[in-house]
Amino acid sequence: MEHIGQALARLAQNQGFMKQYEEMKRQVMQHPYIQQFVRENEEVTTSMLERNLGTLYEYIGQSVECQGCESLEGCKNILPGYHPHLRVRGKAIDLQYERCPRKVMDDEKRQQESLIQSLYMPKEVASATMQEVLGFDHRRIGAVKAAADFLKEYEPGKRQKSLYLYGNFGVGKTYILGAVANGLAKKGVPSMLVYLPDFLREIKGSIGDNTMNSKIEKVKRVPVLMLDDIGAEGMSSFVRDDVLGSILQFRMLENLPTFFTSNLDFEELEDHFAFTQRGDEERAKARRIMERIKYLAVPVEVRGINHREG
């Protein structure tokens, strides 16, 4: 078997090999990244560069700081989403791979999205921002300001009233909830958006399969809960007292912020709770659940045109 030193000597005598080697060396030595690296590391010598030519050539052939990559999905690097950095280790030069800016942004976005749980809600709601919501209609400025104030003042465990957003159909109440959830996610705070009528239908459908309590417990304990379209559900004593009442009582005692949206104001919502589907009138129980809602949230009217009609 030919000794490796003899093989290298033979290759060095090959004119084609030497031509490729010299061209690679020229590209490396003249590359602005390498010249900057040499300026920043005074201990780097020409002989060190020549000994690590393969490493340096690998470095200059990749995207650094996302230059040359149109998107994370189109990353051309050996490790997609990771870009190389040169490091001096003794008399050697090594490559160290770190997340590129686009990868960092994508990871942060995924982390934020993981903090927002959603039940029966459109995906675009959770990605809403305050700027977008306000841009739809400036008549919402009061509600948007109240939501922004909540985000500014929120501290886990602190007694803080949430918002009861009420108004006509299509004025953007649900999107304000999404903007709040998105704002909380940026602060690392988990939240849950729940379209209440569908959730309550699921609860009633799970009475016999032993999953009802676990579903209620999950909603009870989330750091920030957002109940969308309260008052649109079919009302029964069970829904009002054993499901909603249980959730709101726990959250009231634990000082857990709870948002609501509704087409009804407080007085109309109390009437809704007072009459069951069987026609029974239960005013005392309706007032009891309204006391919990009023303890948890301050009413804010959301005004504007119905954007669903457009």
pLDDT of residue 22: 80
Q: Is the confidence at residue 250, as pLDDT, over 90?
A: yes
> Look-up: residue for tokens 């069987």?
278
276-307 in b/e burial notation, b at 16+ Cβ within 10 A?
beeeeebeebbebbbebbeebbeebebebeee
- Lowest mean pLDDT, pick from 193-197, 225-229, 276-280: 276-280
Q: What percent of the chain has pLDDT over 90?
A: 35
Q: Is the confidence at residue 274, as pLDDT, over 50?
A: yes
Distance of CA 58 to the CA centre of its chain: 35
Where is pLDDT greater, at 310 or 147? 147
Choose the most confident range, by mean pLDDT, from 96-100, 174-178, 231-235: 174-178
Q: Is the confidence at residue 229, as pLDDT, over 80?
A: yes
Query: pLDDT grade, residue 194 (50/70/90)?
Result: very high
Query: pLDDT grade, residue 224 (50/70/90)?
Result: very high
pLDDT of residue 295: 96
- Tell me the pLDDT tens digit for each residue of 160-185: 999 999 999 888 899 999 999 989 98
Find, among 206, 199, 257, the residue nearest to 230 by Cα: 199
183's CB contacts (< 8 A; 6+ apart) are 129, 130, 147, 148, 151
Q: Is the confidence at residue 62, as pLDDT, over 80?
A: yes
Q: Which residues pair with 99 in a beta bridge?
A: 82
Q: State which fold the 107-301 domain adopts.
A: Rossmann fold (3.40.50)
For residues 258-265, average pLDDT: 96
Q: Is the confidence at residue 291, as pLDDT, over 90?
A: yes
pLDDT of residue 151: 93
pLDDT of residue 2: 47
Where is pLDDT greater, at 257 or 52? 257
pLDDT of residue 1: 42
Where is pLDDT greater, at 19 or 14? 19
Q: How many Cβ atoms are within 10 Å of 74's Cβ, its own excluded? A: 11
* Dist. CA 158–CA 164, nearest whole Å: 18
Contact 102, 66 (CB under 8 A): yes
DSSP character at residue 188: T
pLDDT of residue 152: 93
pLDDT of residue 167: 92
Q: Is the confidence at residue 33, as pLDDT, over 70?
A: yes
pLDDT of residue 50: 83
Query: pLDDT grade, residue 196 (50/70/90)?
Result: very high
Q: Is the confidence at residue 56, as pLDDT, over 60?
A: yes
Domain positions in the chain are 4-99, 107-301
Q: Is the confidence at residue 76, as pLDDT, over 60?
A: yes
Q: What is the 3-state secondary structure (H, E, C) of 222-244?
A: CCEEEEECCCCCCCCHHHHHHHH
Contact 190, 113 (CB under 8 A): no
pLDDT of residue 161: 94
Burial of 89 (0-12, 13-18, 19+ CB in 10 A): exposed
